[in-house]
Structure 1
Amino acid sequence: MIEYTLPLAQTKASIEMVGGKGMSLSKLLTAGISVPDGFHVTTASYRHFVEINHIQPYINKMLEEIHFTDSAQLEAASAQIGLLFHRGKMPEEVTAAIQSAYAGLGSIPVAVRSSATAEDLPEASFAGQQDTYLNILGESQVLDAVKRCWASLWTARAIAYRMKNNIKQEQVSIAVVVQKLVFSHGAGVMFTQNPINGRRREMVINAAWGLGEAVVSSLVTPDTIIVDKNTGRIVSYKAAYKEIMTVRTSNGTEEVSTPAKLRKKHTLTGDQVVRLAQLGKKIETYYEMPMDVEWAMEKDKLYIVQARPITVLPPEWVLPEKDVIYTKGSLAEHLPNPVTPLFATLGLGIINRASALLWADMFDKSAKKLLPRNGAYTVINGYVYLSAKSKPLLIAAKSLSPRALRKTLTNSIPRWKAAGKEFGTVVKEWEEKPLHGMSAHQLMEGIQSVFFAACTYFTRIQLTLPAASLSEALFTKLFTGTVRRAGITNTSVFLLGFDTISLQSEKNLWKISEWAKKNNSLNHYLQNNSTINIERDTMSPAVPAGVTEEVWGEWKNRINLYFKEYGRTAYEFDFSYPTPQEMLTPTLESIKSFMEGKGDSPFLRQSVYEKQRKQAEDATLKLIDGTRKKLFLKLLNWAQETAPMREDAIYLMGLGHPLIRSMFREISKRLMGGGAILQLEDIYWLTKSELDALVIQLDKNMLLTDLKGGIPARKAEFKKFQGYVPPSRLPEKNENTLLHVPQNRKDGKIILKGIGTSTGVVTAPACVVHSPADFEGFKPGSVLIAVTTTPAWTPLFSLASAIVTDIGGPLSHSSIVAREYGIPAVMAAHNATRTIQSGQMITVDGAAGTVTISG
């Protein structure tokens, strides 16, 4: 006999019959957890409805030619499918079963919840893809809500998710849970392990007034309560200002303003928190896994209305040493992604050796009191952190002493140039040595010498760059009012248009594009080929069809000269990433963009900025005289002299990276020949000790140790690290980090808030770029979304319509270059790279510091 409905307490309920949510609720009842009474509308009811209304063949046909990235087609198909369900006739036997089960509840107000057969599983993440309807009263409303839940199996989002994850559309099914509606005065969610910092011993509870929809949908900032799971002690209770709440109405629910007396009041008492935590602990023990639990409270009685496994739990950010502060500052900013095993073991050791010298120079004998046991930099969960012992007064006293300030702020440009010259000398010395004739040991010596020179250079510019930042900050602080009276709204106009290496690089690309446009055959070839094909042909000895050998030779000569001059830098300080000399795509895209008229002439832009700068200076000088005029000119000259240094100094950080990677490549070829690794890039997945042992074996012509087997697991771990969101500071300043941070919304659109650093408003598709590996997919006119950028990323700016980064500020590279290019920029948008998806239409407002996600 086919069972179209089942009691909620049915012990034999399976996922195939009642879906993930339904089975979870049945399990909770079996475990003695307080769950509102109700019944299941089984998947048999859904299948019977779909079958007699002949719906599945229509669905299959509609979805045949649709790709999961085509949101417009998916939405249209979803709407058509929804109509099929709306117009479909409910089978009499299904109607009778639902009516009987509903009458058994007493025909009371109920919650009607979707329960798909593939949701709420430990290995899946379907949460929230199907619909829930609250405060449903009466047989006809319940039957209609059931049909709407069935139709929600075919939302555009759910269809796309299944397509993307290769889940066959015809194999999915859905059940529905009908439950007594809890008339809750408070509700929320509970995580039995902390999903923000990964702490297994902490439970986190979010609570707000009314029904739980406002919390689940992130419409309200809820109270956040942290409970020590082992002791049951309330670690912290942060009461939020709860502006809205979800309440019952005569025909459903709605969001209303929270009464003034409740807005700042704790939603839960201490006793209620303890009882809720005990329930959470019981549920976790029963399921034997961390759980995400939705709860409601009616007249001091707690109910569990849903429990699902936490599918993605972040790592616990365990501190290597106590009383040490770890931040993503200084060199760690230039390492935004997880690092490879070789960089973590070889590169970091060299960085720490150079940093120890800097600390000794900066802090004298106090360096030992401040430097952690593991060194200035350490790796936590794959990410590099700057570390220092927690002695803020000592750090401030030493950093701000007259001696330290003189050392940092005087003669900054000559000191930077001297550091760059010494670094360049080391690179040139090793570049002149033939790689093929060197032993593996000599190559390793060269790698370490050049990288140590790069790290030493970085430590030395740490004592020159503050002059650039301070000069601009002082000038802005003291003369913003004056320049506004002169009709100038942005003081950055005084610092734009100087001939930095990045600008010289862009001007060189402009010249190449102008030359290429004059050669018809080359122009036709470049305009009609993808940058991937052009890159392949440029690196090949063959001449492409349709281009003369003479013109092609000149093209390659110009490109090679460009990369010899401007490709000696790094996209990221981790030497495992390819350099611009190896990855030509961004540069070629810039050339093509210039040829197609999509980019402005850098010569013209510089000329305009020079004119605006002169006008701004003249207009301001007319308003001041005497001592104030002298101070203005002194600070202006200081800022204008040091501003280009900031950009150029960082550009040169990667001067040795192309050579380092060439030397690694030479060793890697020998390791591949001996069977130690499979691919050239596999060398970066070895540790220093493993590579050291292989180098000895190479030079002694010994049989090489086969290390191919361990590399896939390391790559898999690296991929796992890429999914983490590294805290900017450890231990975290705010232990009460909100879990359901309400994203600002306007007209249904999500709005991210950051720091506006370059004015203007642009609406365009987003392109999320995590590393150089993503550069190929960057389309001209897109908004560049990145964790941060370095000067080597500058070619992307000529293609971008705006820039948004997770970290940074007004003086960061991204801000400076965005202002130079005249495109809007928003920095410090926190998890923009995780929140925004490539292809989404977004609006960047550089003045307001907002990013609006349209869809």
Structure 2
Amino acid sequence: MGSAQGRAPETLVADLSELGSAPLPLVGGKAMNLGRLAAAGFPVPRGFCLTTVAYRKAAPPELEALAARLDAELPGWSPDGGTAHPALDRPDLDHLQLDLGELARQAREMIVTAPIPADVDAAVRAAYASLGSGAAVAVRSSATAEDLPFASFAGQQDSFLNISGADAVVESVRRCWASLWTERAVAYRSANGISHRDVGLAVVVQDVVPAVTAGVLFTANPVTGTRTETVIDASAGPGQAVVSGSVNPDHFVVETATGRVLLRSPDGAGAETGAGAGRAPSLDDARVRELTALGDTVQRLFGAPQDVEWVIDAGKIWLTQSRPITTLYPLPDPAAAEPLGTESGAAADTRVYLCGTLFQGLTRPLTPLGLSVLGSMRNRKGPWKYVNPGLRMYVDVTPAIRNKYGRRYLLRMLPLADGRTGAVFPALLEDPRFGLRQRRPRRKPGPGSAAARSTEARGSVALVGRLIPALLRAGVRPAAELRRAFDYGKQLEADLVLPEPATSFGRLDYAERILDRTVDGLILATLPGPSVGYIMLAAARRLLRGIAKPRELEAVLRGLPNNVTTEMDLELWHLAVTIGANAASREVFLAHSPEELAARYAAGTLPAVAQTGLRGFLDRYGHRAVAEIDLGMPRWSEKPDHILGMISNYLHVEDPEQAPDRQFARAEEHAEARIRDLVERTRARSRLRARQVEFCLRRTRQLSGLRELPKFYIVLALAEMRRQLNKVGAELARSGSIAAADDVYFLEFDEIRVGLRGADLHGIVADRRRLYDTELRRRRIPRLLLSDGTDVEAAMLAKSPASGALAGTPASAGTATGRVRVIMDPVGAHLEPGEILVAPSTDPGWTPLFMTAGALVMEMGGVISHGAVVAREYGIPAVVGVPDATTRLRTGQTVTVDGAAGTIVEEP
């Protein structure tokens, strides 16, 4: 057998002990990792690797053409086989499903029927003979797209155990090759954006260890994400039973640093029981500690948490596989984390992070430049510190948790913003690591830090000093405040215009400074009005104590005037009505997809009524987008597919009573009726109090609708930044520094400047796009994340699993029965009138869907979150903060949503 090192291009077979630095394209992930373990001296069963050179020799030429057909369907795939520039949305493989299975079947047939080249056959037989006559071996697949940092491909290819005889080994090799083309493996590669042409398969052949006990070890808790815990599943006999799930294994959770068993369940039931309960455990504590220490050493070798398969024979532990755990959420601050394999730091060093982007209604990641811009906004004022694990914004709330007043604030605010976070947070406070500090530690001095803090403090005090009279002015003269707020928008639009001509450097500098020049003025112009509106609502609630229940005041917020998002939605509805009344426009919209309509609009070939109407709408609202706080997301003016899809949805509204403008008018009437009722009930107690209640509630309705205005103006500024950066990106693409104009959003401002001077930025962009695409596929985002990687909610649920009832936080009263429509992304979504919208979360880009929804159910949110507030304004029932709603509910089932009780009940 030849070495894999130095002779990689033609090597057919290599001993596992020689694979310590073998390249992934030659031996695949499984063999490469086994080679590293063997080279480092870990106990690995002897064996050999049949490299991908053998697979390439055996694969028939027709397979290349079939793989090319599959690659052509991958989102963003380029003809040369590399990733071009995938869209910023999750991959959608629905269009592949019709022929995916058939293409996979054809590929397998090609492999199975093709003759094995003579030199490959001879190499396998010779290598097998070196293991001993008739040796029992495991024949296992090792794909080049396997055991990667972002995708494990666990179980996607086949393995065959207890194979004896050269003929059987050769046939098992052929079956391993064919398993590269199972439907599940093809679908997995497609979902992860991996080329079917580039993937290859090596085969590992190893001695079978006669197992007394076997199992799997995770060097980080895969359920909670905790990096300081080891999880072991074990069972008597071979490990395949544990991996396949055909037995209930013994389960151990171990504190890695000390070897202390935190949880043991010998019967696999998950409940802590004594070692003597039921059958004897497959591992004693000494073996558990030995496995934990071994796993910790393996983790240090690979530099990342590992999923390790192991076998114990009569007296020795053998390692049969190690792969990265790809499902863990990234650490909040990897640079500050304890080195892998060392003892954990002091309890006081554990920090708590709250996901800020979830509070903005975003489950998706943000582009790197989008995060950078948010960072410049968030760090200008205030004491909070931020980190961006998983390309999402987290705020460090540890100082607030360790402060008495900070705790009170968070306990009051979190349940309103997100019910699920609010439910978990009190238990977190019981953790001794987050106890109150008796006195504030001194800050370490740093160069210029005191001056910077003093400047920030003076700026904040000055801003607050200007806000106080503005708040008083808004309360006294609300009509003038409304004019002032909207006049600011006109002035902002004028101020955002960059004089032409401008250089690329000039555009970049201008874009970077926009928010610095506008944030303070924007706060002063738009914050006083809605603040006074909600202050007045709180005052009314106090005045109505003993007269009305607090939730009765929700109706006052329905159909609020002066809400730019509501006005936008109603304008879109009126545009749909206009298009529906025009025969030519209606016919075109009902016959074409949003993408086709967008192409026609760009070409100016829509019917005149539709073309003119859409242009007018986009002139006013084209700066908005789904996930609009991310600078990297295309604005509606660039990509109007979403808006066109909403118009098509509205054309299906046939019942006049379901028309959004009728529903909004009813919401206004309901609010006015509730105010009259509350005033009358108060008058029975006191005429003076009744006048006070009416004053407060009238101010509430006049001013609270302005709450959407600050974000509306910020997004207007972001849109102008994006317009300038699109031009900068186009220049970078022309010069060859990046491949496509929108690559600019995967760079920082300083990097863009370097690119404008001619630097090659392709590598930086490719790495960040890979990370972004990986994070797009992530479904679970921790709301509260500890610095050791623990997902606090997941850890709580692991201790007390949730019941089967589907419930969340009541957010908007009322009941509605209808068919469920689960929507993960509003772009291109279809929602029939009266359907129950089930979503992970929402932001203003989702609200056109609210106009025809029967009710809203969200995984994220509390009573003050965006989706809840808008649902109340539109008068539709809403339940938010429902764990796993998008997976526990399915499109088409009929449910009743009770927005007052916070429940979702399936109907027979």
Instruction: Please give the TM-score of this superposition, normalised by the length of structure 1.
Output: 0.64
Q: 1:56 to 1:779 in 2, by over 3 A?
A: farther
Q: Is the 8 A contact 1:220 1:742 kept in 2?
A: no
Distance change >3 Å, CA 417–CA 99, structure 1 → 2: farther
| Alignment check: 8 A CA contact 1:443 1:663 kept | yes
The correspondence of residues 460-479 of structure 1 with structure 2, limited to 5 A, is: none
The question of whether the paired residues in 1 share the 8 Å contact of 2:569 and 2:848 is answered with yes
Residues 531-550 of structure 1: pairs in structure 2 closer than 5 A: 531-535=594-598, 537-538=600-601, 542=604, 544=605, 547=607
Q: In the alignment, is the contact (CA less than 8 A) between 1:226 and 1:736 conserved in 2?
A: no
**Alignment partner of 1:279 is 2:342:** no
Give how far 1:129 is off: 0.7
| Preserved contact between residue 162 and residue 169 of structure 1 (Cα < 8 Å) | no
Once the two structures are TM-superposed, the CA of residue 706 in structure 1 deviates from its matched residue by: 3.0
Greater Cα offset, 728-737 or 96-105: 96-105
The aligned residue for residue 756 of structure 2 is: 706
Greater RCO (Cα-Cα under 8 Å, separation 6 or more): 2
Asked whether 1:385 is paired with 2:438, we answer no
Instruction: Determine which of 144, 152, 175 is the counterpart of 1:118.
Output: 144
Matched, 1:524 2:535: no
Distance (whole Å) between structure 2 residues aligned to residue 38 and residue 260 of structure 1: 35
Distance 1:682 1:87 in 2: 44
Change (3 A) 1:97 1:566: closer
Query: Counterparts in 2 of 1:84-103, with a 5 A limit?
Result: none
Matched, 1:601 2:656: no
The answer to whether the 8 Å contact 1:240/1:264 transfers is no
Question: Which of 183, 201, 206 is equivalent to 2:212?
Answer: 183
* Range moving further from structure 2, 285-294 or 653-662: 285-294
573-582 or 337-346, which deviates more: 337-346
Q: What RMSD over aligned residues (CA atoms) do the two structures have, in Å?
A: 7.0
User: 1:204-245: CA deviations, max 9, x gaps?
Assistant: 3334565756865688895433424xxxx34x7541667647
1:774-853 pair list within 5 angstroms: 776-778=827-829, 788-797=841-850, 807-817=860-870, 820=874, 827=881, 829=883
Residue 158 of structure 1: CA displacement? 1.1
Kindly indicate whether the alpha-carbon contact (under 8 Å) linking 1:203 and 1:277 is maintained by their aligned counterparts in 2.
no
2: distance between equivalents of 1:810 and 1:270? 48
Tell me how far 1:272 sits from its aligned partner.
3.2
**Relative to structure 2, which stretch is displaced further, 152-161 or 329-338?**
329-338
Q: How far apart, CA to CA, are the structure 1 residues paired with 2:189 and 2:730? A: 40
Indicate whether 1:167 and 2:196 are aligned: yes
CA distance in 1, matches of 2:272, 2:174: 31
Matched, 1:302 2:329: no
1:507 paired to 2:535: no
Secondary structure at the counterpart of residue 308 of structure 1: strand
What corresponds to 1:204 in structure 2? 230
Task: Return the letter of the residue paired with 1:239.
Answer: L
1:160 maps to a residue whose letter is A
- Rounded to whole Å, the distance in 2 between the matches of 1:260 and 1:378 is 43
For residue 453 of structure 1, what is the aligned residue in structure 2?
A: 521
Q: 1:8 to 1:157 in 2, by over 3 A?
A: same
Separation in 2, partners of 1:82, 1:740: 45
State how far apart, in whole Å, the 1-side matches of 2:539 and 2:264 are.
40
Quick one: which amino acid aligns to residue 184 of structure 2? R
TM-fit CA distance, 1:666? 5.6
Within the candidate set 714, 720, 723, 1:662 is matched to: 720
Q: How far does the alpha carbon of each residue in 1:503-523 deviate from its partner, in whole angstroms, 9 at most, with x for none?
A: 443333232222222322333
CA distance in 2, matches of 1:429, 1:721: 39
Contact 1:382 1:718 in 2 (8 A): no
Of residues 632, 636, 643 in structure 2, which corresponds to 1:587?
643
Equivalences for 1:322-721 in 2 at 5 Å? Answer: 326-329=353-356, 333=360, 348-353=375-380, 355-356=381-382, 371=383, 382-387=391-396, 389-390=399-400, 391-395=402-406, 414=475, 422-432=484-494, 435=497, 437=499, 447-455=515-523, 501-535=564-598, 537-538=600-601, 542=604, 544=605, 547=607, 552=608, 555-563=610-618, 571-575=627-631, 577-597=633-653, 600-606=658-664, 649-650=707-708, 652-659=710-717, 661-662=719-720, 665=723, 706-707=756-757, 709=759, 712=762, 715-716=765-766, 718-719=768-769
Q: Residues 140 and 467 of structure 1: is their aligned pair in 2 closer, same or farther, counting only changes over 3 Å?
A: farther
- Structure 1 unaligned spans of 5+: 247-255, 357-370, 484-489, 695-703, 770-774
- The question of whether the paired residues in 1 share the 8 Å contact of 2:558 and 2:667 is answered with yes
Q: Deviations over 1:48-74 (max 9, x none)?
A: 9x99xxx97998999897768433544
Answer whether contact 2:564 2:712 (CA < 8 A) is retained. no
The change in CA–CA distance for 1:752 and 1:586 in structure 2 (over 3 A counts) is same
Q: Distance in 1 between matches of 2:611 and 2:706?
A: 26
Aligned position for 1:487: none
Structure-1 separation of matches of 2:669 and 2:279: 55
Farther off after superposition, 516-525 or 719-728: 719-728
1:179 is matched by which residue type in structure 2?
A: V
SS in 2 for 1:304: strand
Partners of 1:320 and 1:287 lie apart in 2 by: 17
**Structure 1 CA distance, aligned partners of 2:807 and 2:166?**
46
Normalised TM-score (structure 2): 0.61
Q: Note if contact 1:244-1:257 (Cα within 8 Å) is conserved in structure 2.
A: no
Task: Look up the SS of the partner of 1:572 in the other structure.
Answer: coil
Task: Please state how far the C-alpha of 1:277 moved relative to its aligned partner.
Answer: 3.5
Please say if 1:225 is aligned against 2:247: no
**Structure 2 CA distance for partners of 1:577 and 1:257, relative to 1, 3 Å:** closer
Counterparts in 2 of 1:728 and 1:581: CA distance versus 1, 3 Å: same
CA distance in 1, matches of 2:65, 2:756: 51
1 CA distance for matches of 2:550 and 2:371?
50
Report what 1:158 is aligned to: 185
- The one-letter code of the counterpart of 1:658 is L
Q: Following TM superposition, by how much is the alpha carbon of 1:194 offset from its aligned partner in structure 2, in angstroms? A: 9.1
Q: Distance in 1 between matches of 2:495 and 2:199?
A: 64
* Distance of 2:267 and 2:696 partners within structure 1: 49
Moved more, 473-482 or 809-818: 473-482
1:602 deviates by: 1.0
Shift of 1:276: 1.9
Q: 2:161 & 2:226 partners in 1: Cα distance?
A: 33
| Percent of residue pairs identical | 20
Shift of 1:790: 1.8
Structure 2 unmatched ranges of 5 or more: 3-11, 75-92, 337-348, 413-463
Cα displacement (A) at 1:791: 2.0
Distance in 1 between residues matched to 2:300 and 2:351, nearest whole Å: 35
Q: Indicate yes or no: 2:97 matched with 1:71.
A: yes
